[in-house]
């Protein structure tokens, strides 16, 4: 059931395993839908593999998956500035709602909620990194995850009206 603005949570956290595929997609899609009416963040249980940042001359966690960049860019969402983080890296942990996208993140969210007043929702979300094949086959899997998250976000947080996909720039898809 779509939410009216009075029933929206003030702060939402999306959590998955590495914070470089599903949770950044969900974060960007919800921000696209509600703007700054809700504080939205995402995190993972652990950081993805490290890469060397030549400009800073240090090892840093890899950004979002390149396929995520591609399918989110189709909607006009730029995730190049996203840096994965863990629950421990969050600047603020006072979320009204934590949406877990993986079973492992769900277990951690339940533990987190024991010491905080936060609602927990579990949205099992397929991991598109498991798909092998051509670039197009892999992009199709990422699009399916993006679109499924967009529908779920629209149903949970949006007034009846456009989904985050509908808000894509004209001609983007």
Across the range 68-95, mean pLDDT stands at: 89
pLDDT above 50 for 1: no
DSSP H or E run through 42: strand 39-44
Any idea which of 1-5, 37-41, 142-146 has the lowest mean pLDDT? 1-5
- The pLDDT confidence band at residue 102, using thresholds 50, 70 and 90, is very high
pLDDT above 70 for 137: yes
Backbone angles phi, psi at 98, to 5 degrees: -115, 120
Percent of the chain with pLDDT over 70: 81
- pLDDT, residue 15, reads 96
pTM (predicted TM-score): 0.84
Please give the mean pLDDT across all residues of the chain: 86
* Of 50, 31, 33, nearest in space to 160 by CA: 33
Yes or no: say if 56 and 84 are a contact pair by the CB < 8 Å rule.
Answer: no
| 3-state DSSP assignment of residue 19 | coil
- The pLDDT confidence band at residue 172, using thresholds 50, 70 and 90, is low
- pLDDT, residue 52, reads 58
- pLDDT, residue 60, reads 56
């Amino acid at each position: 059931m779509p939410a009216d603005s009075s029933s929206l949570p003030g702060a939402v956290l999306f959590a998955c395993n590495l914070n470089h595929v599903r949770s950044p997609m969900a974060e960007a899609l919800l921000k696209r839908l509600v703007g700054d009416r809700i504080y939205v963040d995402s995190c993972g249980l652990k950081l993805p593999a490290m890469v060397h940042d030549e400009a800073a001359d240090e090892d840093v966690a890899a950004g979002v998956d390149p396929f995520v960049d591609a399918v989110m860019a189709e909607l006009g969402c730029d995730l190049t500035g996203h840096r994965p983080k863990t629950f421990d890296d969050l600047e603020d942990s006072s979320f009204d709602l934590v949406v877990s996208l993986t079973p492992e993140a769900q277990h951690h969210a339940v533990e987190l909620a024991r010491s905080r007043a936060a609602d927990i929702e579990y949205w099992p979300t397929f991991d598109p990194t498991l798909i092998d094949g051509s670039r197009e086959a892999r992009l199709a899997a990422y699009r399916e995850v993006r679109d499924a998250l967009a529908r779920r976000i629209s149903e949970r947080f949006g007034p009846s009206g456009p989904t985050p996909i509908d808000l894509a720039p004209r001609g983007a898809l």
